[in-house]
Amino acid sequence: MTVADIDAGPVAVASGAGQTIFRRNLARFAANRLAMASVAVVFLFVLLAIFAPWIAPHDPNETDLFRRLQPPAWQAGGEWSYLLGCDALGRDILSRIIYGSRISIFIGAAVIFVATTVGIAAGLAAGYFRGWVDVTISRLVDILLSFPYLIFAIGLMAMMGPGLVNIILALAYKEWVIPCRVVRGETLATRELEYVEAARALGASSAHIMAREILPNILSPVIVVSTIRIAHVIILEASLSFLGLGVQPPTASWGSMVADGRAFILGAWWVSTFPGLAILLLVLAINVASQGLRDAFDPRFQE
Amino acid sequence: MTSLTNPLVQVENLSKVYEGRRSLANRLTGVEPFSVRAVNDVSFHVDRGEILGLIGESGCGKSTLGRAVLRLHEPTAGRVLFDGTDVTALSAGALKDMRRRMQIVFQDPYASLNPRSTVADIVGLPLRLHGLAASRSEMRDQVVGILEKVGLNAAHLDRYPHQFSGGQRQRIGIARALISHPEFIVCDEPVSALDVSIQAQIIQLLLELKDEMGLTYLFISHDISVIGYLSNRVAVMYLGEIVEMGPASDVLARPRHPYTQSLMSAVPDVDAPGHHQRVRLTGDLPSPLDPPPGCKFHTRCPLATDACKHAAPVPEEVSPGHRVACHRLHENLSVLETASRAEGC
């Protein structure tokens, strides 16, 4: 090479060698203490859900009419082996909350997984191909968005009947429009960039361009939006269960536990309150964690 | 140089029109959607092993022309013959194979590399797409080979674009364009985003690679000194049309179109400061949404007459291979002779 190699040596740009933007953002996220504490809470709930049979002190469905509406341990009449008291059928509330976390977390994760997969595919197609593909998908999104979410889900549940798979489908039917809109917008912006054009100039197929050139570059906002939406889906699932359209008894679900305790709220506050607190804690933790994710991954929040 | 009579790239009456969507509201109110003639009936050829410099102001359609030639933007009308094959008529599959033989180097070295891919993936992509490497190790060897040709090395393979400087990134872009051993490269302002010191290096690199790999360039730029330095022939573009084209020495030393003359006079003359006779253009480039009738240059031309406002000039050959589209070509000659006489003393 006769060319003067003034600029040919490797330059260390701010970040260290081998560090990607993604890793830098991840490090930024890890430095956020509140977000990390929230991640720990979420992680704790996930562990509870996975190891429920070993952690739960009692069988969640075992009724004992002698312990009907037994108060929490620290109140008069309480017992330390039934820490959070018992419900109207004498079932241990703590055990039911632990088992209930399985339903909430599983449905939240499953709905977001299905919805994000469908949303990414639809959003990429709409944003990349444009034309009638975009018109069809975008109008469908507009139509779905015009329904109130809960009413839509209730309608679907009424049609399909209750059950775990049906809840996931009922929620995912509408949930996919959220990642779809994000992906479509990002794709529209990214497809005009020169590296996408370069891939086309090299002879790359549409599938390659969408999957390898565009998708990796728009994933950050999708991840952020999806984590925020998990919290939303958990609340929706609890709402459906509260209304009796969710997981059917005797399976423990936080929403149905809150509903069960409603009749005794004045006399036995613990039956509704503890599952309610569980919903609050998990949703709050997910929200704070996803907020931290957004702060770390969205360039607009970076100095 | 087997066939001087058979150019590598032959562009015939190429046009590219961007049309606005005809919305329902427009249809109801009878408003015509906008249409932009970015490239209007352009014809030229590029011989094997030559560099054709394409010069013009921002927005004159030179980048669109470069992309339309490669069919990155679908031409609205006209043909592009590459080595005798009509590129505009190729099926998707045949076009993909053709893409191996014609490549593009982009202007912005920051936008033209996928930030989430390593250098090995970026430069190796053409090999993967066209099945040019039998194995991973062979692919890596080829990538290292081309990286060394452009002044990088194997240590850069697993780095990401953001870890390189602008000049280095442009080298990566050049490596990507050259790894499939193409014959024709569209250089779309490859140095205008770089520092002046780096520009010279990249231009030198492009010239060396051209000789080494037997390349043919369509070199797009708005910088006359760059074009003058490396082009064999020059085409001057104004509002989507080529107004003057010919051998570089001829066009740049004796420009015959008033637009080329004004461009040339804008280049500072280091040898004879003060003697410089500046042909100043007034006004801006007219909007391509609403191009002026007749000769498109008449709104800014110092020589324009009424005739220029009505009829578009037909290109005329003033010397071998040197064609100019101007109504006032013959009147302009005298102006030029006096100018060159002044230059002589």
Q: Which residues in chain A have Cβ-Cβ distances shorter than 8 Å to B155?
A: 10
Please give the residue of chain A at the shortest CA–CA distance from B209: A1
Q: How confident is the model at residue B113 (pLDDT cuts 50, 70, 90)?
A: very high
- Whose tokens are 């352009």? That residue is B42
Range of the domain at B289: 9-23+33-101+182-344
Which residues are registered as beta bridge partners of B241? B238
pLDDT over threshold 80, residue A282: yes
pLDDT at B319 (0 to 100):
87
In eight-state DSSP terms, residue A301 is G
B45 touches chain A (CB under 8 A): no
CA-CA distance, A140 to A39, in Å (whole number)? 35
- Whose tokens are 């400087």? That residue is B165
Q: Please state, rounded to an integer, the average pLDDT across all residues of chain B.
A: 85
pLDDT at B338 (0 to 100):
44
Q: What is the pTM of this model?
A: 0.80
Q: How many CB atoms lie under 10 A from the CB of residue B72? A: 17
B167 touches chain A (CB under 8 A): yes
Asked whether B135 and B159 are in contact (CB, 8 A), the reply is no
Question: Nearest CB to B72: which of A8, A197, A212?
Answer: A197
Any domain includes B126: no
Q: Please state, rounded to an integer, the average pLDDT across all residues of chain A.
A: 85
Any domain includes A29: no
CA-CA distance, A93 to A84, in Å (whole number)? 6
Shortest Cα–Cα distance, B177 to chain A (Å): 8
Q: How many CB atoms lie under 10 A from the CB of residue B321? A: 12
pLDDT over threshold 90, residue A219: no
Any domain includes A191: yes
Interface residues of A toward B, Cβ cutoff 8 Å, are 1-8, 10-13, 15, 17-18, 20-22, 193-195, 197-204, 208, 212-213, 216-217
For A177-209, the pLDDT digits (tens) are 999 999 999 999 999 888 999 999 998 999 999
H/E element, B242: strand B241-247
Any domain includes A152: yes
Check B99 against A203: CB less than 8 A apart.
yes
CA-CA distance, A105 to A259, in Å (whole number)? 19
Q: How many CB atoms lie under 10 A from the CB of residue B254? A: 19
Task: Classify strands B233-238 and B241-247 as parallel, antiparallel or unpaired.
Answer: antiparallel
Secondary structure (3-state) at B322: strand
Which residues are registered as beta bridge partners of B42? B14
CA-CA distance, A277 to A283, in Å (whole number)? 10
Omega of the bond prior to A250 within 30 degrees of 0, cis? yes
Any domain includes A170: yes
Asked whether B224 and B267 are in contact (CB, 8 A), the reply is yes
Q: How confident is the model at residue A86 (pLDDT cuts 50, 70, 90)?
A: confident
B168 touches chain A (CB under 8 A): yes
CA-CA distance, B204 to A4, in Å (whole number)? 10
Q: What is the dihedral of CA B254, B321, B45, B105, to 10 degrees?
A: -20
Shortest Cα–Cα distance, B95 to chain A (Å): 8
- The CATH number that applies at residue B74 is 3.40.50.300
- The CATH number that applies at residue A204 is 1.10.3720.10
Question: Nearest CB to A201: which of B70, B114, B204?
Answer: B70
Q: How confident is the model at residue B124 (pLDDT cuts 50, 70, 90)?
A: very high
pLDDT over threshold 90, residue B280: no
Any domain includes B167: no
Residues 6 or more apart from A146 whose CB is under 8 A from it?
A: none
Q: Which of residues 273-302 of B touch A (CB under 8 A)?
A: none
Question: Nearest CB to B116: which of A17, A201, A216?
Answer: A216
Residues 6 or more apart from A184 whose CB is under 8 A from it?
A: A122, A123, A124, A126, A127, A134, A137, A138
pLDDT over threshold 60, residue A303: no
Please give the residue of chain B at the shortest CA–CA distance from A131: B21
Shortest Cα–Cα distance, A148 to chain B (Å): 29
Shortest Cα–Cα distance, B309 to chain A (Å): 37
Which residues are registered as beta bridge partners of B105? B187
B128 touches chain A (CB under 8 A): no
The pair of three-digit structure tokens given for residue B318, joined into one six-digit string:
């003033």
Residues 6 or more apart from B252 whose CB is under 8 A from it?
A: B224, B227, B228, B234, B264
Check A13 against B100: CB less than 8 A apart.
no
ipTM above 0.90, yes or no: no
The number of domains in chain A is 1
CA-CA distance, B8 to B330, in Å (whole number)? 33
CA-CA distance, A19 to A3, in Å (whole number)? 29
Any domain includes B205: yes
Question: Nearest CB to A193: which of B111, B117, B201?
Answer: B111
B180 touches chain A (CB under 8 A): yes
Give the Å distances, CA to CA, from A99 to A47, A198, A250, A257, B29.
Answer: 11, 52, 11, 11, 63
Check B104 against A20: CB less than 8 A apart.
no
- The CB-side HSE value for A235 (13 A sphere, CA atoms) comes to 13
Check B106 against A194: CB less than 8 A apart.
yes
Check B156 against A17: CB less than 8 A apart.
no
Average pLDDT over residues A95-101: 92
The more confident residue out of A136 and B289 is: A136
Residues 6 or more apart from A41 whose CB is under 8 A from it?
A: A281, A282, A285
Q: Helices (H) and strands (E) in chain B — how many of each?
A: 12, 12
Quick one: which of B194, B165, B39, B11 has its CA closest to B105?
B194
Substitution target from A20, A135, A194, A200 for chain B, most B beta carbons within 10 A: A194
Check A204 against B125: CB less than 8 A apart.
yes
> Residue B258 class from Cβ within 10 Å (0-12 exposed, 13-18 middle, 19+ buried)?
buried
Quick one: which of B83, B57, B115 has its CA closest to B238?
B57
Check B201 against A11: CB less than 8 A apart.
no
Question: Nearest CB to B130: which of A4, A203, A216?
Answer: A203
Q: How confident is the model at residue B271 (pLDDT cuts 50, 70, 90)?
A: low
Q: How confident is the model at residue A3 (pLDDT cuts 50, 70, 90)?
A: very low
Range of the domain at A262: 86-301
Question: Nearest CB to A217: which of B114, B151, B197?
Answer: B114
Check A10 against B129: CB less than 8 A apart.
no
Any domain includes B177: no
Q: Which residues in chain B have Cβ-Cβ distances shorter than 8 Å to A16?
A: none
Average pLDDT over residues B47-69: 90
The number of domains in chain B is 1
Any domain includes B146: no
pLDDT at B274 (0 to 100):
57
CA-CA distance, B99 to B214, in Å (whole number)? 17
Secondary structure (3-state) at B327: coil
Check A217 against B167: CB less than 8 A apart.
no
Q: Which residues in chain A have Cβ-Cβ distances shorter than 8 Å to B171?
A: 8
B111 touches chain A (CB under 8 A): yes
For B145-203, the pLDDT digits (tens) are 999 999 998 999 988 888 898 899 999 999 999 999 999 999 999 998 888 888 999 99
| φ, ψ at B292 (rounded to 5°) | -65, 150
Check A203 against B165: CB less than 8 A apart.
no
